């Protein structure tokens, strides 16, 4: 069924001025300094080489021997400090291999991380992803400390809609249930009926047993859902700067490669995810065209569109080994959510998690 309607902030008589702005990185506060652990040595040494050799085996196909001596001291320090802190590290598929395979305890897509966040027993969660993922971990673990190594790691899709926008949609379409992609802020989750991911969006929409559903904020996912159901979809004019180039669930892509084990693969997605799959499945060749040459040609021929099979998420790439180490040393940057908002947001997330397959 075609989209029944698509709206954005400019379509309302009183659009909400401005969009959310992620805070700037703070200096170490007195409170952080008071609870800080000693900064470990970050020198490459035979001891570091021995301690990280088994981890390098996981990533040697995607990280060169020249790069590893710069990463290994951080990897060793992070793995030691997370034991001291009693912390667990969650990492999204788009994190770089030295994070995803060498320091993360749990990895996956948004849905997998949301599910695993409910099972975490550690008192401290370090979320290596973007801010809405850290908020989701906090929503599901209100009494735990949730840290994000860089709170500026935002999301263009999550920033495309606010809680006020959702309230205006409800006023425009009274009684119509609202579904939101999990890539949204806690404020937005508090205003909706249920969350979804790319892999369960159709199931979530049809579970509401409603003739019309408001689906936000991803207009491309909304169009896909509309093509798979008889439910009328009212969409929002939101998009992810990375996802709008590609289609398909990241989890489904990875599972397909794991199951079929083709000899060669061109993975059309965020670049680091292909590296992570290559590290896990070294017998599968990941075909990667040069990322630099197309840029040079594009500069010379601006009227020629260069299509690249992978694209970096600049927000995910704000999370680095030094920032993860910094987060564990100082217990920064902590994610906090107003308890009243968190309680309402929790209902929409848990409703998705409790939906039977």
pLDDT tens profile 96-146: 899 999 999 999 887 788 788 888 889 999 999 988 899 999 999 999 999
From 121, 139, 137, select the one nearest 129 (Cα to Cα): 137
Mean predicted confidence (pLDDT) in 3-13:
67
* Token duo for residue 332: 């920064």
Between 13 and 346, the more confident residue is 346
Looking at the predicted structure, is the pLDDT value of residue 300 above 70? no
Separation of CA 190 from chain center: 19
Q: Is 313 left (phi over 0), alpha (psi -120 to 50) or beta?
A: beta
Domain positions in the chain are: 5-16+163-239, 30-156+315-339, 250-311
Mean predicted confidence (pLDDT) in 265-279:
66
CATH architecture label of 5-16+163-239: 3-Layer(aba) Sandwich (3.40)
Looking at the predicted structure, is the pLDDT value of residue 17 above 70? no
Distance, CA of 199 to CA of 228 (rounded, Å): 13
Q: Do domains 5-16+163-239 and 30-156+315-339 have the same CATH topology?
A: yes
* CATH number for the domain whose boundaries are 30-156+315-339: 3.40.50.10800
Q: How far is CA 249 from CA 93, 252, 268, in A?
A: 11, 5, 11
Q: Which residue has the tokens 């979804």?
A: 196
pLDDT tens profile 190-222: 999 999 988 899 999 999 999 999 999 999 999
* DSSP structural state of residue 213: E
Inter-residue contact 248 to 70 (CB < 8 Å): no
* Token duo for residue 146: 């949730």
pLDDT tens profile 229-248: 999 999 998 876 555 555 56
User: Of the given ranges (14-23, 68-77, 89-98), which has the lowest mean pLDDT?
Assistant: 14-23
pLDDT given at position 104: 96
* pTM score, whole prediction: 0.75
Q: Which residues 6+ apart lie within 8 Å of 32 measured at CB? A: 330, 331, 332
């Amino acid at each position: 069924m075609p989209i029944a309607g698509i709206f954005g902030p400019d379509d309302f008589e009183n659009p909400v001025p401005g969009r959310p702005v992620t805070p700037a990185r703070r200096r170490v506060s007195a409170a952080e300094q008071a609870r800080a652990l000693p900064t470990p040595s970050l020198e490459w040494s035979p001891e570091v080489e021995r301690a990280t050799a088994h981890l390098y085996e996981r990533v040697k196909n995607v990280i060169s021997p020249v790069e590893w001596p710069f990463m290994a001291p951080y990897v060793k320090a992070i793995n030691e400090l997370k034991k001291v802190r009693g912390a667990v590290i969650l990492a999204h598929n788009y994190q770089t291999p030295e994070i995803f395979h060498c320091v993360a305890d749990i990895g996956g897509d948004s849905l997998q991380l949301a599910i695993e966040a409910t099972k975490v027993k550690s008192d401290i969660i370090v979320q290596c992803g973007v801010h809405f993922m850290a908020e989701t971990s906090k929503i599901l673990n209100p009494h735990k400390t949730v840290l994000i190594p860089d709170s500026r790691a935002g999301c263009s899709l999550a920033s495309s809609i606010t809680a006020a926008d959702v309230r205006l949609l409800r006023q425009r379409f009274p009684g119509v249930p609202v579904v939101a992609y999990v890539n949204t802020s806690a404020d937005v989750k508090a205003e909706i009926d249920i969350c979804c991911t790319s892999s369960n969006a159709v199931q979530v929409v049809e579970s509401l047993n409603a003739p019309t559903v408001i689906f936000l904020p991803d207009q491309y996912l909304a169009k896909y859902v509309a093509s798979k159901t008889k439910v009328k979809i009212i969409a929002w004019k939101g998009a992810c700067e990375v996802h709008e180039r590609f289609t398909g669930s990241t989890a489904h892509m990875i599972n397909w490669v794991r199951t079929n084990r083709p000899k060669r693969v061109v993975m059309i997605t965020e670049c680091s995810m292909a590296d992570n799959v290559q590290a896990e499945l070294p017998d599968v060749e990941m075909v990667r065209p040069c990322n630099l040459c197309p840029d040079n040609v594009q500069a010379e021929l601006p009227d020629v569109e260069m299509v690249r099979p992978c694209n970096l998420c600049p927000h995910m790439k704000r999370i680095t080994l030094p920032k993860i180490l910094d987060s564990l040393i100082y217990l920064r940057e902590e994610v906090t959510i107003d308890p009243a908002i968190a309680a309402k947001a929790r209902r929409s997330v848990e409703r998705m998690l409790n939906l039977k397959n």
